[in-house]
A and B are shown apart, each in its own frame.
Chain A
């Protein structure tokens, strides 16, 4: 199986750091989303401590990411679920034509941020937002924005594969069907193109008419990717696309993401730091609804500017 060149990079830090014994955390999955005492880390993580106190410290945005032409601009974006504030003034540009990953522990708001881009959070009761997210310069939260056509410009893939209960063919061309496309030749061409791009064509070309529900989990997820790119979206949003898959299927999806990243801008949320290291050009680290550090993936994983980021990506914290 071909392995992406990025995979050979060690995700661990290159900087040798003396480890004080008190930060040797026994479990990697320590629940940290709850707000602890003001100085919970014993002064080890001043930024995290400030966030836990409810402050929003200025994130470390590397110059390398701020200088790149962006397709998506998140500016001081805030979001509330009822009384709970889930995003605290996030500001980050998303580079055009690149793969950007968002990492962070559960509850850090990374999925919320992703779902804010195509306004899927609108469905949730009691959601309020402030600030802006612009796609190619147009604020997606401006008054009078046609949410339907906005979503047609963005593709999205979810945590769990969610094929619709219809044939493989109908799944792929769903976005075209609901836009009123009826010409069979157009649909068939689009279906083949999307399935080829999703590396699924050879596996399913003889059974396009059979139900998508009978495919394996990995195939279903690649089908969902094909379905999301059939309209050639300006940004492809991936919400932990491998979290429900086995390691081999995960590897195939990661290869596919690298492949698709050649054609599309990809924004991927993942809880798997190795995955972020393997597939993305840029990485953002979020914590409790704040952006903490944002830079080139290689820098985030090898030369992070914050101790918090370094310890998170090496698994010593979070």
Chain B
């Protein structure tokens, strides 16, 4: 199209956009009005391009800045950062112990050892992975059921619009509001009512003792002690995450299921499928789009900060028990960034942020590839 323009004076405009080339062909030799319009088009066209480029540039610069700021930690720990569970912001001195756990004495005094500051992301990666997985475990069945309701039941009851609105409204609630509710309502409720019941039910079951007891090494001795059920633990954190990802997983699943052709559902029904069996067929038809919806939920769960920080307990440890306090990547950043004045500490936190960003990008890209084309664009 561009090649058609050289005869026109407008073509020499530096900002001449390609889209106007065709117009130019028919309008060459016209008056200044069309020329002015063309200049306006060009300016706007370039403004749009610049804005789009700016957004891409922001992402690139974000990554560059993150890598640059995290560089001291990347250089010091390398990929070992991902598998180390140290998190010592300050140098500490402690009594040296031998292999048997005995204090090493010299002249009757314990010998001290000095541990340099060291950082590792394994506990927060663990916390993020487990809390997100638990959140999905809770949210996905509810979301898929709600999506089926919205697509197959609600229209008949003429409440599809209202129900969709309520579910999407949940997405608009600020995460701090969820956090406060979780901290003052959900956590005490779990501490006083749900936790004790769960303990009474599950503790006697052989093989589930690890849920309520932890093994720790105190002063060189290994002891087993009960995990205090505070209600501020991985489980409550996962629950609030589940509530927060419900809207997105539900609304994307609803769009995916809506796009299932009617003939597919009728095809199963005509063969004698029950309502439930035809729903299963529907889920199967939309499976890749639904997987995308779940991935979007996962991305959100992994990155969610405020509400989780308030209830997860913020303990940098790896415990198999869902009733132990934990820490996620986002919550460690929120908790420690303000006081991370020392270079390596700050760099390590930014390293965590970089891991989180990479993970979220991967989840989002995969999710979009799965969903787009199934529903003709993700609507959120």
Q: Could you say which of B261, B272, B284 contacts A178, with CB atoms under 8 Å apart?
A: B272
Known: A125-B155, A164-B284. A178 touches B273 (CB 8 A): yes
B235 vs chain A, min Cβ distance (A): 37
Residues in B neighbouring A118, C-beta threshold 8 A: 270
Cβ of A162 and Cβ of B264 under 8 Å apart? yes
Cβ of A162 and Cβ of B277 under 8 Å apart? no
Which residues 256-273 of B sit at the A interface, judged by CB distance below 8 A?
A: 261, 263-273
Cβ of A164 and Cβ of B155 under 8 Å apart? no
- Report the Cα distance A159→B270, complex, angstroms: 13
B156 at the interface (CB under 8 A from A): yes
Cβ of A228 and Cβ of B271 under 8 Å apart? yes
Cβ of A175 and Cβ of B272 under 8 Å apart? yes
B285 at the interface (CB under 8 A from A): yes
- Report the Cα distance A175→B265, complex, angstroms: 14
B281 at the interface (CB under 8 A from A): yes
- Report the Cα distance A110→B299, complex, angstroms: 50
- Report the Cα distance A160→B267, complex, angstroms: 11
Residues in B neighbouring A179, C-beta threshold 8 A: 272
- Report the Cα distance A218→B17, complex, angstroms: 48
Q: Which residue of B lies closest to A237 (CB)?
A: B270
Known: A164-B281, A165-B284. A152 touches B269 (CB 8 A): no
Residues in B neighbouring A237, C-beta threshold 8 A: 270
Cβ of A162 and Cβ of B269 under 8 Å apart? no
A227 at the interface (CB under 8 A from B): yes
B288 vs chain A, min Cβ distance (A): 9
Residues in B neighbouring A231, C-beta threshold 8 A: 271-272
Cβ of A178 and Cβ of B285 under 8 Å apart? no
A156 at the interface (CB under 8 A from B): yes
Cβ of B267 and Cβ of A152 under 8 Å apart? no
Cβ of B266 and Cβ of A164 under 8 Å apart? no
A312 at the interface (CB under 8 A from B): no
- Interface residues of B, count at CB 8 A: 20
Cβ of B266 and Cβ of A123 under 8 Å apart? yes
Residues in A neighbouring B263, C-beta threshold 8 A: 158-160, 162
- Report the Cα distance A155→B270, complex, angstroms: 7
Q: Which residue of A lies closest to B288 (CB)?
A: A165
Cβ of B272 and Cβ of A149 under 8 Å apart? yes
A151 at the interface (CB under 8 A from B): yes
B274 at the interface (CB under 8 A from A): yes
Q: Could you say which of B156, B272, B285, B287 contacts A152, with CB atoms under 8 Å apart?
A: B272
Q: Which residue of B lies closest to A154 (CB)?
A: B270
Cβ of B155 and Cβ of A152 under 8 Å apart? no
- Interface residues of A, count at CB 8 A: 27
B244 vs chain A, min Cβ distance (A): 32
Cβ of B270 and Cβ of A164 under 8 Å apart? no
Residues in B neighbouring A156, C-beta threshold 8 A: 270-271
Which residues 139-186 of B sit at the A interface, judged by CB distance below 8 A?
A: 155-156
Cβ of B271 and Cβ of A174 under 8 Å apart? yes
Residues in B neighbouring A227, C-beta threshold 8 A: 271
- Report the Cα distance A148→B265, complex, angstroms: 14
B222 vs chain A, min Cβ distance (A): 50
Cβ of B271 and Cβ of A175 under 8 Å apart? yes
Known: A123-B266, A158-B267. A164 touches B285 (CB 8 A): yes
Q: Is the contact region of chain A dominated by helix, strand, or loop, or is it mixed?
A: mixed
Which residues 204-221 of A sit at the B interface, judged by CB distance below 8 A?
A: none
Known: A120-B269, A123-B269, A125-B155. A162 touches B274 (CB 8 A): no
Which residues 131-179 of A sit at the B interface, judged by CB distance below 8 A?
A: 148-149, 151-152, 154-156, 158-160, 162, 164-166, 174-175, 178-179
- Report the Cα distance A151→B273, complex, angstroms: 8
Residues in A neighbouring B287, C-beta threshold 8 A: 165
Residues in A neighbouring B271, C-beta threshold 8 A: 151-152, 155-156, 174-175, 178, 227-228, 231
- Report the Cα distance A128→B263, complex, angstroms: 22
Known: A160-B263, A165-B284, A165-B285. A120 touches B272 (CB 8 A): no
- Report the Cα distance A84→B299, complex, angstroms: 48
- Report the Cα distance A159→B242, complex, angstroms: 42
B155 vs chain A, min Cβ distance (A): 7
- Report the Cα distance A156→B270, complex, angstroms: 6
Q: Which residue of B lies closest to A159 (CB)?
A: B263
- Report the Cα distance A158→B270, complex, angstroms: 10
Cβ of A164 and Cβ of B264 under 8 Å apart? yes
Known: A162-B261, A164-B264, A178-B277. A120 touches B284 (CB 8 A): no
Residues in A neighbouring B274, C-beta threshold 8 A: 148, 178
Cβ of B285 and Cβ of A148 under 8 Å apart? no
Q: Which residue of A lies closest to B156 (CB)?
A: A125
- Report the Cα distance A150→B281, complex, angstroms: 20
A182 vs chain B, min Cβ distance (A): 15
A267 vs chain B, min Cβ distance (A): 13
Of B156, B265, B267, B281, chain A has the most CB atoms within 10 Å of the CB of B267
Residues in B neighbouring A178, C-beta threshold 8 A: 268, 271-274, 277
- Report the Cα distance A151→B285, complex, angstroms: 22
Q: Which residue of A lies closest to B263 (CB)?
A: A162
Residues in A neighbouring B266, C-beta threshold 8 A: 120, 123, 158, 162
Cβ of B272 and Cβ of A164 under 8 Å apart? no
A16 vs chain B, min Cβ distance (A): 44
Residues in A neighbouring B270, C-beta threshold 8 A: 118, 120, 151, 154-156, 158, 228, 237
- Report the Cα distance A178→B284, complex, angstroms: 14
Q: Could you say which of B156, B261, B272 contacts A148, with CB atoms under 8 Å apart?
A: B272
- Report the Cα distance A148→B278, complex, angstroms: 11
- Report the Cα distance A152→B270, complex, angstroms: 8
- Report the Cα distance A162→B267, complex, angstroms: 7
- A85-120 CB contact bits vs B (8 Å, 1 = yes)? 000000000000000000000000000000000101
Q: Which residue of B lies closest to A151 (CB)?
A: B272
Q: What 3 A-B pairs have minimum CB-CB distances, sorted nearest first? A: A152-B272, A156-B270, A162-B263
Interface CB pairs A-B, < 8 A, 6: A123-B266, A148-B273, A151-B269, A159-B263, A160-B263, A178-B272
Q: Other than A125-B155, A151-B272, give 15 A-B pairs with Cβ distance below 8 A.
A: A120-B269, A123-B265, A151-B271, A152-B271, A156-B270, A158-B266, A158-B267, A159-B263, A162-B264, A164-B281, A164-B284, A165-B284, A175-B272, A178-B277, A227-B271
